[in-house]
């Protein structure tokens, strides 16, 4: 592979000319739910304490990305980011960076009702909350925990605290909740949330994903159109993973993240940092670059930036889910940061 051209110093560019400005940071691989499409009932072998980046290490790496590599968006995720003890301090430290990045968080919503005001005060701009069903029993079966009411309360709490626009992420599974697309949209419209469906991807720890049974974007749109007039959203999509439609004449919108059937790798602007300090150029990458080791060995900011740029330069053109040679990454989604 050729070396990263010096002329591109200051940005995370790859060989295909894509520039990464959106950093996803996983704060933990642990979770307090057990969504069937994500992890097994017994959980996973979690990262040990010393493997995890400390709060100051996370903030330092985010600072390097913002100050030296042109990152303008920081999204905290996991595992479940709300269970990270130092979350508020991390958010506040990232909000103090200049130029200040936009800061968001993807969460399952448990505990969000209580934490939302403090997160807002710390500098969080908005949240994405995962909600796959409106039915309490289905939720309990799907997540293996009876916590549906907490998620709904978390959504409301986030809106009250001004973490807006509040977005909902929904994954549909055949025979489980694939009859709920219109009801989820009705719920989101009623409460002023923005709904996005995510096609299920081969990133589950159990390797249970099956292309032939996954619910596709086309099916989701067909189901929605039975009840709602949808028109293509004229807003420029840019690097956004979601394709969006206006509901009626707008301004309400609904999105579909069709990573499998309509991949958007050509416009990808994401770079990822795992909870144990590995840079990944893609959710589906099979290579990682160890920034934790470099950081703990005394690397200065310039060296960390150089390593990050090298990692991104090697980003592959696409995720290759449709290639016969496709191999699911060793880390599941919960350990990468979704
Ligand atoms: N625990 C938080 C949550 O559930 O929002 C953040 C981490 S979770 C891995 C991030 C998002 O990835 C969630 O919206 C979840 O539904 C989605 N997700 C998890 N496994 C997935 C899979 N195999 N395919 C598609 N989306 C998945
Ligand atoms: Fe936890 Fe999120 Fe995975 Fe569900 S999708 S098990 S909430 S990490």
CA of 299 to the centre of ligand 1 (A): 33
For residues 271 and 47, the answer to whether their CB atoms sit within 8 Å is no
For residues 319 and 282, the answer to whether their CB atoms sit within 8 Å is yes
Is 79 a known ligand-binding residue? Answer: yes
Ligand 2 atom nearest to 106, measured from its CA = 2
Q: What are the structural domains of the chain?
A: 6-336 (3.20.20.70)
- Of 40, 78, 130, which is best to mutate to test ligand 1, by the most ligand atoms within 8 angstroms of its C-beta? 130
| Residue 33, ligand 2, Cβ within 6 A | yes
| Residue 289, ligand 1, Cβ within 6 A | no
Is 272 a known ligand-binding residue? Answer: yes
Confidence at residue 60, expressed as pLDDT on a 0 to 100 scale: 98
- Of 35, 127, 206, which is best to mutate to test ligand 2, by the most ligand atoms within 8 angstroms of its C-beta? 35
Q: What is the mean pLDDT of each run of 10 residues along the chain (338 residues)?
A: 86 96 98 95 94 98 98 97 98 98 98 98 98 98 98 98 98 96 98 97 86 91 96 85 91 93 89 97 91 98 97 90 78 84
| Residue 158, ligand 2, Cβ within 6 A | no
| Residue 110, ligand 2, Cβ within 6 A | no
Q: What is the pTM of this model?
A: 0.96
Question: According to DSSP H, which parts of 43-108 are helical?
Answer: 55-69, 87-95
Confidence at residue 107, expressed as pLDDT on a 0 to 100 scale: 98
* Three-state secondary-structure class, residue 188: helix
Is 271 a known ligand-binding residue? Answer: yes
Residue with tokens 């919503």: 109
Rounded-to-integer distance, Cα 143 and Cα 331, Å: 20
Largest interatomic CA distance in the chain: 59
Rounded-to-integer distance, Cα 67 and Cα 85, Å: 26
Ligand 2 atom nearest to 80, measured from its CA = 8
- Of 24, 36, 38, 203, which is best to mutate to test ligand 2, by the most ligand atoms within 8 angstroms of its C-beta? 38
Question: According to DSSP H, which parts of 78-215 are helical?
Answer: 87-95, 112-122, 136-143, 148-161, 181-191
CA of 92 to the centre of ligand 2 (A): 24
Rounded-to-integer distance, Cα 109 and Cα 236, Å: 29
| Residue 138, ligand 2, Cβ within 6 A | no
| Proximal ligand: closest to the CA of 145 | 2
| Proximal ligand: closest to the CA of 200 | 1
Residue with tokens 């990808």: 268
Confidence at residue 198, expressed as pLDDT on a 0 to 100 scale: 96
| Residue 204, ligand 1, Cβ within 6 A | yes
* Three-state secondary-structure class, residue 248: coil
Question: What DSSP line would sit under 268-279, residue for residue?
Answer: --EEEE-TTSEE
Please provide residue 294's backbone torsions phi and psi, each rounded to the nearest 5 degrees: -65, -45
| Residue 169, ligand 1, Cβ within 6 A | yes
| Residue 160, ligand 2, Cβ within 6 A | no
Confidence at residue 330, expressed as pLDDT on a 0 to 100 scale: 82
Give, in degrees to the nearest 5, the angle at Cα 227 between 200 and 244: 50
């Amino acid at each position: 592979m050729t070396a990263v051209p010096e002329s591109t110093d200051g940005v995370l560019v790859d060989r295909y000319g894509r520039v990464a400005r959106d950093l996803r940071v996983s704060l933990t691989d642990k979770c307090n739910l057990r969504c069937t499409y994500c992890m097994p009932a017994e959980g996973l072998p979690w990262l040990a304490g010393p493997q995890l980046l400390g709060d100051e290490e996370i903030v330092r790496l985010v600072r390097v990305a913002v100050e030296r590599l042109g990152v303008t968006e920081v999204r905290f995720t996991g595992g479940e980011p709300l269970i990270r003890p130092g979350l508020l301090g991390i958010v506040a430290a990232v909000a103090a960076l200049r130029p200040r990045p936009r800061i968001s968080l993807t969460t399952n919503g448990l505990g969000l009702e209580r934490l939302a005001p403090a997160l807002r005060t710390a500098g969080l701009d908005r949240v994405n909350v995962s909600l796959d069903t409106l039915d309490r029993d289905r939720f309990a079966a799907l997540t293996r925990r009876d916590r549906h009411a907490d998620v709904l309360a978390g959504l409301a709490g986030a809106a009250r605290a001004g973490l807006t626009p509040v977005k909902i992420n929904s994954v549909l599974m055949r025979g489980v909740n694939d009859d709920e697309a219109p009801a989820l949209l009705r719920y989101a419209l009623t409460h002023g949330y923005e709904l996005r469906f995510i096609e299920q991807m081969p990133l589950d720890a159990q390797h249970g994903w099956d292309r032939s049974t996954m619910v596709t974007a086309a099916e989701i749109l067909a189901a929605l159109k039975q009840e709602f007039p949808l028109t293509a959203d004229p807003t420029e999509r840019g690097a956004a993973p979601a394709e969006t439609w206006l509901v009626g004449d707008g301004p309400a919108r609904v999105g579909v993240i069709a990573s499998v059937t309509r991949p958007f790798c050509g416009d990808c602007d994401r770079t990822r940092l795992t909870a144990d300090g590995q840079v990944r150029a893609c959710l589906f990458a099979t290579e990682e670059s160890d920034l934790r080791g470099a950081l703990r060995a005394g690397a200065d900011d310039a060296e960390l930036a150089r390593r990050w740029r090298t990692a991104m330069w090697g980003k592959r053109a696409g995720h290759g889910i449709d290639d016969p040679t496709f191999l699911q990454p060793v880390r599941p989604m919960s350990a990468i940061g979704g």
